[in-house]
């Protein structure tokens, strides 16, 4: 567990949250360290029962947080160097399996189906984060972060894009381009709006989602990039990097949650009522009780 210095930082974070609380954080809530000792935590995804699955990519494992008793246990190892995760509507865990630049579907019995392993015969840069729309289609970002476990060194696809897998899983199309390095992605519960962060350009964009899954009306949402992101029921957008920065639906910053780590990678809402903010940051995972809740 963390040292006394980290406990002091947590206390400072608690005081900061109380002083700046705009109503989204539960009264008296304290940022709580759930577990540490990982190498790099990422990709939190909430299951239907409120449990959260997250990744420890350097150690090639998917870890499960049990919302009922606040425990963490290894769920799958090896995991294809899983990074971003998301549950589909059938209860399968979707994974950006970075070992071979693939997108996986993992059923509850841990049977793996490879959904994507190339685009037009070329290796992807490395699927990173994803979101499932109400129809079951899958959007995923494809940045390029060189990994020590890759056999290749040069990208086969020079463009950094966002792709869409049709609900029947038969068609893979490009839906967004013009990024330096797309990373975090999240969509609204009604499936009409999609947010995409360009982390290396320090910007997050919002798009209209068309009936066929294509995107239009690209608009700058805010001048901040993000590693991962989530939404709450008020339409607030949560971006990560330096802690968690919260913007309202109009792109105005309304809060900043300090996290006592050098980098905050990702965030989602978990728990039975989805009112627990679950944060992955460096070698640790944290929770924070909220007044708002997540949306699926």
- Helix/strand/coil for 240: strand
pLDDT score of 20: 41
pLDDT score of 150: 78
pLDDT score of 120: 96
- Helix/strand/coil for 200: helix
Residues 164-216: pLDDT tens digits?
999 999 999 999 999 999 999 999 999 999 999 999 999 999 999 999 999 99
In 3D space, the residue among 32, 78, 33, 95 whose CA is nearest the CA of residue 283 turns out to be 33
Residues 49-66: pLDDT tens digits?
999 999 999 999 999 999
Q: Which stretches in the chain have pLDDT values below 70?
A: 1-22
pLDDT score of 30: 95
Domain boundaries defined on the chain: 4-289
4-289 belongs to which homologous superfamily?
TolB, C-terminal domain (2.120.10.30)
Question: How many Å apart are CA 78 and CA 279, to the nearest integer?
Answer: 23
Q: Calculate ∠ Cα 56-61-66, nearest 5°.
A: 80
Residue whose entry in the numeric block shows the structure tokens 């949560």: 238
Q: Calculate ∠ Cα 265-267-268, nearest 5°.
A: 155
From the number of C-beta atoms within 10 Å of its C-beta (0-12, 13-18, 19+), residue 33 rates as: middle
Strands across the sheet containing 193-198: 182-187, 193-198, 203-209, 215-222
């Amino acid at each position: 567990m963390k040292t006394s210095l980290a406990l002091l930082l947590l206390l400072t974070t608690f005081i900061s949250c109380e002083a700046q609380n705009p109503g989204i954080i539960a009264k008296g809530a304290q940022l709580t360290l759930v577990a540490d000792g990982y190498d790099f935590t990422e990709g939190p995804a909430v299951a239907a029962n409120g449990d959260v699955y997250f990744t420890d990519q350097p150690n090639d494992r998917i870890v499960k947080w049990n919302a009922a008793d606040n425990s963490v246990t290894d769920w799958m190892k090896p995991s294809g160097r899983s990074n971003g995760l998301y549950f589909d509507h059938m209860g399968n865990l979707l994974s950006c399996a970075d070992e071979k630049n693939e997108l996986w579907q993992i059923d509850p019995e841990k049977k793996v189906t490879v959904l994507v392993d190339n685009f037009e015969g070329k290796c992807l840069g490395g699927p990173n984060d994803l979101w499932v729309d109400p129809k079951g289609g899958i959007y995923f970002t494809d940045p390029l972060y060189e990994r020590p476990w890759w056999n290749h060194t040069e990208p086969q696809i020079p463009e950094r894009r966002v792709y869409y897998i049709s609900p029947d899983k038969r068609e893979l199309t490009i839906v967004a381009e013009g990024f330096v390095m797309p990373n975090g992605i999240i969509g609204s519960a009604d499936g009409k709006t999609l947010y995409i962060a360009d982390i290396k350009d320090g910007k997050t964009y919002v798009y209209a989602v068309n009936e066929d899954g294509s995107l239009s009306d690209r608009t700058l949402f805010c001048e901040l990039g993000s590693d991962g992101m989530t939404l709450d029921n008020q339409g607030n957008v949560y971006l990560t990097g330096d802690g968690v920065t919260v913007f309202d639906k109009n792109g105005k910053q309304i809060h900043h949650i300090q996290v006592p780590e050098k980098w905050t990678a990702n965030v989602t809402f978990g728990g039975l009522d989805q009112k627990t903010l679950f944060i992955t940051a460096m070698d640790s995972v944290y929770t924070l009780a909220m007044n708002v809740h997540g949306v699926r």
